[in-house]
A and B are shown apart, each in its own frame.
Chain A
Amino acid sequence: LAKTTQPISMDSYEGQEVNITCSHNNIATNDYITWYQQFPSQGPRFIIQGYKTKVTNEVASLFIPADRKSSTLSLPRVSLSDTAVYYCLVTNAGNMLTFGGGTRLMVKP
């Protein structure tokens, strides 16, 4: 599966929009982009998944350009409770999930 690269950490303030970009240059045709969120002392939880263009749910939006070599997770109007580690994964049905180091988001008041 394609390796992903994302920033190690990001800081933001309450009420701001946060965009976390992930690169996956070697993504294959059948791969999807999936994001998980992990709060301190908890297991990760699924946030969003997409294949191309834009996907939006109640938690976040995911933007994927036409070449699919990168993706951006967008969190609208973050709050302190959005402080977490966000993992970008390239996934393919039938294969195991591979977690990288993730992006540690710190939301400040």
Chain B
Amino acid sequence: DAGITQSPRHKVTETGTPVTLRCHQTENHRYMYWYRQDPGHGLRLIHYSYGVKDTDKGEVSDGYSVSRSKTEDFLLTLESATSSQTSVYFCAISESVATRLDEQFFGPGTRLTVL
């Protein structure tokens, strides 16, 4: 399996508090992604990064920010968590998007509950 870890794996927090999720990779892949998965919605892209300090918005970026100061780490921050952000969050990595395969490798997920 690709070397991807996410921390924490589970978190319960209260509305209005800031939350940071961490994704760490040991594969030295250039691209990193944050998705959220909710029942009936499959996975939706929140933000992605195509290099250190290079990030862009995905489909559902409102309420989230990201940072990537090192190749191996991609942080997702909820500045002020809301109950609608209760979800399972997956990090993914890929070596390149400019290839036919564009295979993404996913982490184990973080289950976040906002009360």
Interfacial residues of chain B within 6-62, with CB under 8 A of chain A in the complex:
33, 35, 40-45, 48, 58-59
Report the separation of the CA atoms of residues A101 and B109 in the bound assembly, to the nearest whole angstrom: 18
Q: How far is the CA of A49 from the CA of B35 in the complex (A)?
A: 21
Interface bracket on A: 20 to 34
22 A–B pairs (Cβ distance < 8 Å), ordered by A: A32-B100, A34-B102, A41-B109, A42-B106, A43-B90, A43-B92, A43-B108, A44-B106, A45-B106, A46-B104, A49-B103, A87-B42, A93-B97, A93-B99, A94-B97, A95-B97, A96-B45, A96-B97, A97-B104, A98-B59, A99-B43, A100-B42
Of all chain A residues, which has the CB nearest B91? A43
| Chain A interface mostly | loop
Task: Please list the 8 inter-chain residue pairs (A to B) with the smallest Cβ-Cβ separation, ordered nearest first.
Answer: A43-B106, A99-B42, A99-B43, A46-B103, A43-B90, A101-B42, A100-B42, A94-B97
